Amino acid sequence: MTDEPKDIAPTSPTSPVVEEGQPVEVEDIANLFKGVIEPIARSQEIAQTEETKRAQIGADIASKFLRYFFGIAFTILIIAVIALFLGKDQLTEKIVFGVIGFIGGYAFGKGTPRSGG
């Protein structure tokens, strides 16, 4: 018996891989992995789309809330201006300070971190 080395072909992207005596191309193996990876990638895309929709809904709700909030504050300031024109200076002052305190307190409360409890 003589052990002579067999010729080894240089590797390339289309080099054959032998499986049970049958050559299988690297592309076939890639297609096998593609069948596993594509559904995972699609599920990630769907999850990202859903997350974007949830963020958009949250932004819409926040936008509506801010519009109502500033609408009420503007209405109260209009009442303060009317009180000023009617000569109720102390009432106007109280209304203006009340609105500024409310808006400032709301903004301060939103900016502080919540303590776990």
Convert the pLDDT of each residue in 49-89 to its tens digit: 899 999 999 889 988 988 888 888 788 888 888 888 888 88
What pTM did the predictor assign?
0.46
Convert the pLDDT of each residue in 78-108 to its tens digit: 888 888 888 888 888 888 888 888 777 766 6
Helices within the chain (DSSP H only): 26-85, 89-111
Q: How far apart are the first and last CA of the chain?
A: 81
Look-up: residue for tokens 């990630």?
Answer: 44
In b/e form, how buried is each residue of 24-48, taking b as 16+ CB within 10 angstroms? Answer: eeeeeeeeeeeeeeeeeeeeeeeee
Give the three-class secondary structure for 116: coil
